[in-house]
Amino acid sequence: MLLASPRGFCAGVERAVETVERALALHGAPVYVRKQIVHNVHVVRDLEQRGAVFVESEQDAPVGAVLVLSAHGVAPSVHENAQRRSQRTIDATCPLVSKVHAEARSYAAGGFTIALVGHEEHEEVVGTRGEAPEATVVIGSVAAAEAFTPADRAKVAYVTQTTLSMDETAEILAVLRRRFPAIVGPPKDDICYATTNRQNAVKEMLPLIDLLLVVGSGNSSNSNRLVDVALGAGVPAHLIEDAGCIDEAWLDGIETVGLTSGASAPERLVTGVLRWFRERGVEQIERLDGVVEDIEFRLPSELRQPARPAPAAV
Ligand code: SF4
């Protein structure tokens, strides 16, 4: 069995989870969280047990509530709604997503039509699009890039979702650059370091394995892309929430299993999968070397103050 590196939590997810924990320490329960703070069922359940209340919309949280906004970012209209409801927002948007929002605002201000490469329904894309809805067209495939018809072909810009497949995005951007030679975009696409590193780690592992297991939730974009990387290379792969989801039939005729995890999956779930294999007699587990990640993001400014002191004992 081979274990990919890097894997699991990225700096943006670490920051988002800590944001909810610190908000609970500062303000006490309940702390409301708009949408899943990160796309992982286990993380959400843990925080729920500690007093976080997850809601779909700012409209579902009470007037005046403390409301954490998830790592995926929100449209400006969400901030406006929250302000109208006197909610005290704490913005856990990953700084790398905020950077894409800033790019979108800047291109819209410059009069560009923005090709937003990403998945239409994904929360991050909904938030980024919200920066300039009239000027933004979501491009989810090569076919959509071919069909894209901006008002002014000379004024086209692109930005991308942070958690896409590097290969698919490169194909889409190649089509856009061919069709709109004057297109402008960020110096590098917006796919983040964590997505890039985890996909590269899987690519390096693929020649050595017969099956890939990816620990992550079904709505986690970057986890799904890790499965796609394997499937695209002809290696069977499955996304699993945790060890309980492994189907022993998948292992028939398989010699070497590769294991990785998405950027929102806690390491203890990977440990659980390793335990599952050890209990079935797998002794050889090799941890592959990979890029060492040392990125850290500061907590949101609303939280950079000491935690509330614990009540005095009686
Ligand atoms: S996957 Fe990338 S963009 Fe998303 S939270 Fe992690 S570092 Fe930020």
**What does pLDDT average to over the chain?**
96
Closest-CA residue to 23 (of 266, 267, 301) = 301
Q: Are 214 and 226 in contact (CB under 8 A)?
A: yes
Helix boundaries (H) for the chain? 11-27, 41-49, 76-84, 95-109, 123-129, 142-147, 166-179, 193-205, 221-232, 267-279
Provide mean pLDDT across the span 284-295: 97
Provide mean pLDDT across the span 76-99: 98
CA 138 – ligand 1 centroid, Å: 20
Q: Is the CB of 37 under 6 A from ligand 1?
A: no
| pLDDT per residue as tens digits for the range 230-249 | 999 999 999 999 999 999 99
CA atoms within 13 A on the CB side of 266: 16
The full set of domain ranges for the chain reads 2-6+193-287, 11-93+298-303, 96-179
Rounded to 5°, the CA angle 52-58-62 comes to 70
Catalytic residue list contains 123: no
Q: Is the CB of 10 under 6 A from ligand 1?
A: yes
| Nearest ligand 1 atom to alpha carbon 12 | 5
Residue nearest to atom 8 of ligand 1 (CA): 12
Rounded to 5°, the CA angle 95-101-107 comes to 140
Q: Is the CB of 40 under 6 A from ligand 1?
A: no
Q: Which CATH entry fits the domain spanning 96-179: 3.40.50.1000, 3.40.1010.20, 3.90.1150.10, 3.40.50.300? A: 3.40.1010.20
| pLDDT per residue as tens digits for the range 30-56 | 999 999 999 999 999 999 999 999 999
Rounded to two decimals, what is the model's pTM? 0.95
Does pLDDT of 309 surpass 60?
no
Q: Is the CB of 163 under 6 A from ligand 1?
A: yes
CA 264 – ligand 1 centroid, Å: 9
- DSSP letters spanning 245-268: G--GGGGTT---EEEEE-TTS-HH
Domains 11-93+298-303 and 96-179 share a fold: no
Provide mean pLDDT across the span 196-219: 98
Catalytic annotation, pick one of 58, 103, 123, 124: 124
CATH 3.20.20.70, applies to 11-93+298-303:
no
| Nearest ligand 1 atom to alpha carbon 38 | 5
- The CATH number of the structural domain formed by 2-6+193-287 is 3.40.1010.20
CA 12 – ligand 1 centroid, Å: 5
